[in-house]
Amino acid sequence: MKNKRLISFLVVFAITGSIVFAQNPAFPWPEGKKMAISLSFDDARLSNPELGIPLLNEYGVKATFFVVPSNMQRNLEGWKKAVASGHEMANHSIQHPCSGNFVWSRNRALEDYTIGRMRNELSQANEEIQSLLGVSPQVYAYPCGLTFIGKGEYTQSFVPLISDMFLAGRGWLDEAPVDPYYADMAQLTGMKMDNMEFEEILPIIKSASENGQWLVLAGHETNESGNQTTYLRMLRELCAYANDPKNGIWIAPIGTVATYVKEKRELMAGNVNIPGIVRPDKDGTLNLTSETGKGIGPDIKYMPEWNAFGWFTGKDRVEWDLALEKGGDYEVWMEWSVSDEESGRDFVLISGDQEITGKVAKSGSWETFKKVKIGELTLKEDYNHVLFKAVEDFDKGALMDIKSFTLVPLRN
C-alpha cells in the first residue's frame, strides 16, 4: 500500500458530525501567499477618483472599478488617471437595472428585460468604456447583485450570458469569500466593505487566509463618512495589512486574480477533486471520475497523483450525481487497483433500486490500474445518483483504490 500513500497530501475533515469529505490541499496562490484579496468599487462614484484612488495609489494597491459610463463623464480625467495608474475598469451596465421592487429602478426593471436586451446593453457598456478609457472590460458586477430577468414563470438567470461575455461576474452582499477551486467564475461572491471598520473586516480576512480563499470586497463611495461608503481610514489599515509580507496576502484586481485562478484550474484539471454533476460527453458516455466524485467517510482520500480515491475502507463510499437528457441502458466499466493481499472483498454499486455487485479482482498492485466491465445499469431522464462501497464493513486494510466508472450507452 504504502509509498504512494505517503505522497498523498490530502486531508480529511469534518463538515458536519457524520459526513466527512475528501478535501483538496490549499490553493496554490503565487509566491506561497495564503490568500487573495480584490477590492472593488461600483458605479463610478465621484469620491473614487477624488479620494479613494489617490489613497490606493499611495499603497501601490490596484483595485477594480465597476463603472457606469454616464457617471464617469463627471470626472473623465480622474478616471483616465486611474487607468494610467493600473486600476482595472470593469462593466456595470449602462442603465444599472435592478428589480422593479426598487421604485427607482421601475423604468429599467430586471423583470422587464430579455436576454437579448441585456446582451446589447452590456456590449454597449463595453464599447463606451473602450472609447472613453481605451480599455476593454473583462469582468462584470451584477447591479444590486441580482442575476435574474423576468418575473414568475418567465424568470430566467442571466448568469449564462455573463459566463459567455466575461471572464468573471461579481455579486453583492454575499456571505462568504470565493473558494478558488469550486466557485463559478460568473458568480464570484462580493462581500460588503462599505460602512465597516477594519476591526470588523479583519476576522473575515483571517478566516479566508486559513482557508486559502479569495476575498472579493465590494464598496461604493470612498470617503470619511456617509451611506454606501468605504471609509478611507479602513482602506488605509487594510492596504497596510495586505502589504505586510508576513500576512501572506496577494492583493490584486478581480480580472488579474480570475485569470490566475483559471490558469491554475486548467493546469490542475484531472488532479484535483471538485465534486460536480456528471453530464454525458458527445458520444453519450458518462465518466464518473474520482475528480468529480464525492468521497465520503472517515478514511477516504483523494490522491491527486493517481486521480483516484484511496484509503477506501469498509466505512467509506463514493457518490456521484448525474444529469441526463434522456434515460437509457449503460454498460458499467470499473477502473481500480488493489494489492493481491487486499483483493477479494465484495463491492456494490447502487443506483436507485438497482445494484451491481462483485468481488474486487486482483489488478497486480496498488500502482497498476485495470478496467473491466462489471455489469449494466438503466438510468432515467434528468437526475440519477450512483453510490459505490464495500458490501460489508471490515476491520483492517482497504477495499481498493478507485479511479473511475465509465458508463457506455448500449445501442438498442
Q: How far is the CB of 284 from Zn ion (least distance, A)?
A: 44
Q: Which range of residues in 4-12, 34-42, 161-169, 301-309 is near Zn ion by CB under 5 A?
A: 34-42
Which residue is closest to Zn ion by CB?
42
- The helix or strand, by DSSP H or E, that contains position 12, with its residue range, turns out to be strand 12-14
* Joined grid coordinates for residue 142: 451584477
Q: Residue 43 or 401: which CB sits closer to Zn ion?
A: 43
Alpha-carbon distance of 351 to 278, in angstroms, equals 14
Instruction: Please tell me whether residue 291 binds Zn ion under the rule CB under 5 A.
Output: no
- Residue 194 is a binding residue for Zn ion (CB under 5 A): no
* DSSP labels, 274-337: ----B---TTS-EEEETTTSEEESSS-EEETTTTEEEEE-TT-EEEEEEEESS-EEEEEEEEEE
Q: Binding segment for Zn ion among 36-44, 208-216, 249-257, 281-289 (CB under 5 A)? A: 36-44
Using CA of residue 83, residue 179, residue 229, residue 113, what is the dihedral sign? positive
Q: Which is nearer to Zn ion, 143 or 328 (CB)?
A: 143
Bridge partners, 312 (sequence order): 400
For residue 289, CA distances in Å to 268, 272, 275, 358 come to 15, 11, 10, 19
What is the total count of residues that contact Zn ion (CB under 5 A)? 3
- Tell the smallest beta-carbon distance from residue 220 to Zn ion (Å): 7
Output 42 or 111, the one with its CB closest to Zn ion. 42
Pick the piece of the chain touching Zn ion (CB under 5 A) from 42-50, 252-260, 354-362, 376-384.
Answer: 42-50
Q: What whole-number distance in Å separates Cα of residue 163 and Cα of residue 148?
A: 14
Pick the piece of the chain touching Zn ion (CB under 5 A) from 17-25, 141-149, 190-198, 283-291: 141-149
Q: Are strands 382-390 and 317-324 parallel, antiparallel or unpaired?
A: antiparallel
SS3 category, 269 = coil
Give the CA-trace dihedral at 313, 315, 321, 326, to 10 degrees. 90
State which of residues 24, 27, 38, 43 lies at the interface with Zn ion (CB under 5 A). 43
Q: Which is nearer to Zn ion, 97 or 255 (CB)?
A: 97
Residue number with CB closer to Zn ion (43 or 291): 43
Widest distance between CA atoms in the chain? 76
Does residue 42 interact with Zn ion by CB under 5 A?
yes
CB of 40: closest distance to Zn ion in angstroms? 11
As a whole number of angstroms, the distance between CA 115 and CA 120 comes to: 9
| CB nearer Zn ion, residue 143 or residue 180 | 143
Q: Which is nearer to Zn ion, 143 or 280 (CB)?
A: 143
C-beta closer to Zn ion: residue 43 or 335: 43
* Contact positions with Zn ion (CB under 5 A) in 142-171: 143
Stretch that binds Zn ion, among 37-45, 333-341, 364-372, 385-393 (CB under 5 A): 37-45
Q: Using CB under 5 A as the criterion, what x/- string covers residues 96-135 for binding Zn ion? A: ----------------------------------------
Q: Can you tell me whether residue 399 is helix, strand or coil?
A: coil
Which of 48, 67, 201, 69 is CA-nearest to residue 141?
67
Q: Site residues (CB under 5 A) for Zn ion?
A: 42-43, 143
